[in-house]
Structure 1
């Protein structure tokens, strides 16, 4: 039964994970967001009490 022989399948598994761990993080970390974050102002907004019409 070839599926019980872990030799070639384990090597394929290890090499594929090494490939994924080497390529995918570099592509993700090189991603540049098109929208730059804007700083939030520290001033408070004036909020008044609500006057309900009933």
Structure 2
């Protein structure tokens, strides 16, 4: 969940700590924010979700 793009990071008031600074390889860009991990059923209905800081690597 992108909160601030890297070129606007000097304005960040929330999620400005280093653990919230992440990188999205598919878009080749850095961001400030959190990652949302979600499991959905075959119809797309959320079953489980969690929030992690932007620096946490998905496993």
TM-score by length of 2: 0.17
Structure with the higher helix share, 1 or 2: 1
TM-score by length of 1: 0.18
